[in-house]
Structure 1
């Protein structure tokens, strides 16, 4: 969902006392232990994290693409289940990359593909049939071409809920509407069998095209951060010094407060509406929240567990801030870890967890995650000030 960037003056915030029961802290990086860090070391390692994150997101999405190709070659309950599983696995790696957004970088600048990749919430009737309207959507309009160019033009046309591409369009095609209180959508595999469902040929074509477009867009963003290019975004970012540090803080603060705590959790908690759930068709919203919180933790610590299981590690914002205010860096680390732990406690399915009174155990766990994210955003603002950044452009809740 797109929001305006608002200028937020960051007032000085006290570090306060460390949490009494904080999670164990990871030891500082070797660079931080041996000598004072340079800004170039921090921005360079951040660029390494971004490239690794998008590389893993692309690789896992390509695995999903192959599973979808098998589904289309031989539709069955088994191939549909495998494609859904591959979507869920790929989604986890993409979710961690959302910490790299919100500062006019290659993912979401004026020409960036973020709107094609991850726009939401989605009016599913814009794409395919829904309960009560068997002829709804682009798929059932045989006059509408189904090409990457056409679907890109239709994405968010005449309304931001008119989502035609990206993760959630693929999700809807794999699961269908979520009409169950206890589980996700239950689209039958016969929707992709020629002759079994009206316009199955176009549904098959649509799923193929939007999956291929997602792969193309992820590859474009990955290339912008490639380490072996001289004129891409990464090269200018690494050379930008303190401006690069400012952008890293903007990304973390915006995801923490405006997007995750605000748009993805507070809005749904207040409305109690399934339509405000992020991954509503697959009932994966609770895992989306965990992945987003972990993405913030990755950048703050300078650590990322890769798709192959290896650990990429180097100087993160935590180390940079610790040189100026070790206590604040430690407290922020504790709150960042607390946010991940809180997100892991959000019950599934999310659309049922948001129901009932605010005092209900399930809603209380969502509220605890929101509260932790808000506190961590304040810590991040204080940390930015500690390293000389007085003003940030951060995404605020609408």
Structure 2
């Protein structure tokens, strides 16, 4: 999501149904919200662990910038993405990840990214913070934080996609990702300011780990933190937040910002991970996160989920919701890669047809999520 301005509008449009009898017993609902908090903690724990692996690989590359170590750092970046992608279902309700005042989401996963804001690009060899040695003589975490999204939402200086751009460079290939040489990071190599490029990469990766750790801390069990506050709510208030995250990611964010915009514009710059060609995997991870939240699971752990509550109220709706969730995953998986090529061509081209099927599946899924909320006595108004 480029900006979270609309999130407040969504949150303001949500309200717990004020009339009628609560269809759920607290004894049924509370285990679901308790296990949701556990699921969130496990997901962020995994995201932090994978980010630390990425940090280790980046540190090794920065210390000795060879092609082999660049490949290892790229692999670690790709392997870090699924855990974070699944965690994005925990956004959109003002939790620790995107609290209006303190949430670090904009530093973690903001996009789309103007490459020239960070480093040299084709046609602009002196562009970017890295090459602005007079304006920014000393690079630091504080500087990168201050520059992130300064003077524009594409002025992204930190997070996964800044790291992605540094590792891959611009994507000029129709068949694969960017292919920045390791020599761009070698003093006297193929690009000036190699030492600053190494330092920037190291700083951005370290900041990513810190920001993810700060969110994980807020969901740590048995602590005086957001998780404690979440667990202390009435079940319906907590479930309202759960459904807000699911519906917002499924609808306005995933089917909208991340897919329809790129589909309509046919522009590589509008895809989520445009440097590494990891967009399809990102989309799949997001959809999987929504399914996780409904079923109460992460990885091999399977706990109480919303499905148990919906099955009590409307078994047929529960079956429909599960089918919608799987249909979205299957439709995303069917998109031919890379995503930046799938969005091109006429509307009857195979790639575009597959992308459209996935968009439609996510929209249908979002509508069914609204029905699920209604069945639970919750009014959910989404874009």
**TM-score, length-scaled by structure 2:** 0.93
Question: What corresponds to 2:131 in structure 1?
Answer: 140
Question: What corresponds to 2:168 in structure 1?
Answer: 175
1:364 aligned onto 2:358: no
Structure 2 CA distance for aligned equivalents of residues 345 and 65 of structure 1:
32
Alignment of 1:182-221 (within 5 A): 182-196=175-189, 197-221=191-215
Equivalent residues, number: 366
Structure 2 CA distance for aligned equivalents of residues 226 and 195 of structure 1:
46
1:185: how far off?
0.5
Question: What corresponds to 2:333 in structure 1?
Answer: 344
Q: Confirm or deny: 8 A CA contact 2:222 2:228 kept in the other structure.
A: no
Structure 2 CA distance for aligned equivalents of residues 318 and 142 of structure 1:
55
Question: What corresponds to 1:56 in structure 2?
Answer: 46
Over the residues paired in the alignment, what is the CA RMSD in angstroms? 1.6
Q: Secondary structure at the match of 2:126?
A: coil
Question: What corresponds to 2:56 in structure 1?
Answer: 66
Stretches of structure 2 lacking an aligned partner (at least 5 in a row) = 18-23
1:323 aligned onto 2:312: yes
Q: Confirm or deny: 8 A CA contact 1:36 1:323 kept in the other structure.
A: no
1:38: how far off?
2.2
Structure 2 CA distance for aligned equivalents of residues 335 and 36 of structure 1:
27
Structure 2 CA distance for aligned equivalents of residues 263 and 73 of structure 1:
38
1:199: how far off?
0.3
Alignment of 1:4-83 (within 5 A): 4-5=6-7, 6-7=9-10, 38-83=28-73
Structure 1 CA distance for aligned equivalents of residues 91 and 146 of structure 2:
23
Stretches of structure 1 lacking an aligned partner (at least 5 in a row) = 13-31, 306-310
Q: Secondary structure at the match of 2:313?
A: coil
1:228: how far off?
2.4
More displaced 10-residue stretch of structure 1: 193-202 or 50-59: 193-202
Structure 2 CA distance for aligned equivalents of residues 390 and 212 of structure 1:
41
Q: Which has the higher contact order (CA 8 A, sep 6+)?
A: 1
Question: What corresponds to 1:308 in structure 2?
Answer: none
Structure 1 CA distance for aligned equivalents of residues 308 and 251 of structure 2:
22
Match of 1:97 among 87, 91, 95: 87
Question: What corresponds to 1:129 in structure 2?
Answer: 120
- Measured against aligned partners, the alpha-carbon deviations of 1:29-48 in whole angstroms (never above 9, x if no partner) come to xxx9xx99522201110001
Structure 1 CA distance for aligned equivalents of residues 264 and 348 of structure 2:
13
Structure 2 CA distance for aligned equivalents of residues 375 and 2 of structure 1:
24
Structure 2 CA distance for aligned equivalents of residues 373 and 248 of structure 1:
17
**TM-score, length-scaled by structure 1:** 0.90
Structure 2 CA distance for aligned equivalents of residues 359 and 347 of structure 1:
14
1:313: how far off?
1.2
1:268 aligned onto 2:262: yes
Structure 2 CA distance for aligned equivalents of residues 213 and 55 of structure 1:
16
Question: What corresponds to 1:22 in structure 2?
Answer: none
Question: What corresponds to 1:280 in structure 2?
Answer: 274
Q: Secondary structure at the match of 1:333?
A: helix
1:9: how far off?
7.4
Q: Higher helix proportion, which one?
A: 2
Q: Secondary structure at the match of 1:281?
A: coil
Structure 1 CA distance for aligned equivalents of residues 144 and 14 of structure 2:
40
1:388: how far off?
0.6
1:299 aligned onto 2:293: yes
Q: Confirm or deny: 8 A CA contact 2:170 2:275 kept in the other structure.
A: yes
1:242: how far off?
1.1
Match of 2:248 among 249, 254, 270: 254
Structure 1 CA distance for aligned equivalents of residues 267 and 327 of structure 2:
27
Q: Confirm or deny: 8 A CA contact 2:336 2:342 kept in the other structure.
A: yes
Match of 1:112 among 100, 103, 119: 103
Alignment of 1:235-254 (within 5 A): 235-240=228-233, 241-254=235-248
Question: What corresponds to 1:335 in structure 2?
Answer: 324
Question: What corresponds to 1:86 in structure 2?
Answer: 76
Q: Secondary structure at the match of 1:334?
A: helix
1:190: how far off?
0.5
- Measured against aligned partners, the alpha-carbon deviations of 1:252-271 in whole angstroms (never above 9, x if no partner) come to 00000010000000000000
Structure 1 CA distance for aligned equivalents of residues 177 and 380 of structure 2:
42
